[in-house]
Amino acid sequence: MSEPEVDPTSPTSAGAQIRAAENVLAQAGVASPSYDAAELLAHVLGVSRAGLPLVRAVSAEQAADFDALVQQRASRAPLQHLTGSAGFRYVELRVGPGVFVPRPETELLAGWAVEQARAAGEVPVVVDLCTGSGAIALSVATEVPEAEVYAVELDPKALVWAHDNLAGSGVRLHEGDMAEALHELDGTVDVVVCNPPYIPLDAWESVAPEARDHDPALALWSGDDGLVALRALEVAAARLLRPGGVVGAEHADAQGETAPGVFSASGRWTQVRDHPDLAGRARYLTARLRRDGHPGVAR
């Protein structure tokens, strides 16, 4: 006997539930109401988004759970906090309150780190500073399994999430400030990668509520010009890298000149370049440590 057809006009259908939620989210100013509504319903039903059209009916209990999540999303709680996970390149990360939610644009920086690790030798050494959820470190360890990967995080709450995500990956996770981390590796690292805080303190009003009100402050704010953490990274990377080693760091789209300028000004680096994201906005810088033993190198 064939299954009864799904009635998309029924108030218990997945489509009707999504359309109602989409209206709520749109009125609340959520940037992607259709996508978020579908993701939340799929999460409640335990199916993929592609499987939603096959759902014959949404029960009253499921509808109530869905509505509760929609209301939280309308209050601008991050979608990933509500579903408990975030996809990043080829891995799935557990995320929630206390950890920075990895963004799709950071996948480009992670991809750069993967490429550099593959090119570095038989057993490349990679350090991910300000690891947060562990997204970049886990991507490198997954895609370059021969690499020795180290991750550093200062925030104790974020460290809990990183520990969970990196368990069993082989990544060596350390708690501490990137400025003083991993002195035992000084001068031996092939690749340093970092998604540091880079938002100026006076940019509060311009930051989306999902980030401003829910991401940890340590992952967002970086002094009056947004470059305090990048300056610390420049010194730390020069200390950690072998001569000729490379560093990559994300920055705000308005820092396409000032962020690379931090590295150019020190005299420790060559091949200082900036790279755009898929939308053409300035997104991350890369640089190579000089091979000539420049006296300014932090050792």
Active site residues: 100, 195-196
Q: How far is CA 185 from CA 141, 189, 222, 249, in A?
A: 18, 7, 26, 19
CB 238 within 8 A of CB 268: yes
Report which residue type is found at 253: D
- Residue 259's contacts (CB-CB under 8 Å, 6 or more residues apart) are 198, 227, 230, 249, 251, 252, 274, 282, 285
Cα 125 → chain centroid = 21
Tokens 């990377």 belong to 237
For residue 164, what is the DSSP state?
Answer: H
The torsion angle over the Cα atoms of residues 195, 196, 202 and 205, rounded to 10 degrees, is: 40
CB 135 within 8 A of CB 88: yes
b/e string for 196-216 if b means 16 or more Cβ within 10 A? bbbbbeeeeeeeeebbbebbb
The single residue listed with the structure tokens 């998309």 is: 8
Distance between CA atoms of residues 43 and 81, nearest Å: 12
Residue 234 dihedral angles phi and psi, to the nearest 5°: -60, -45
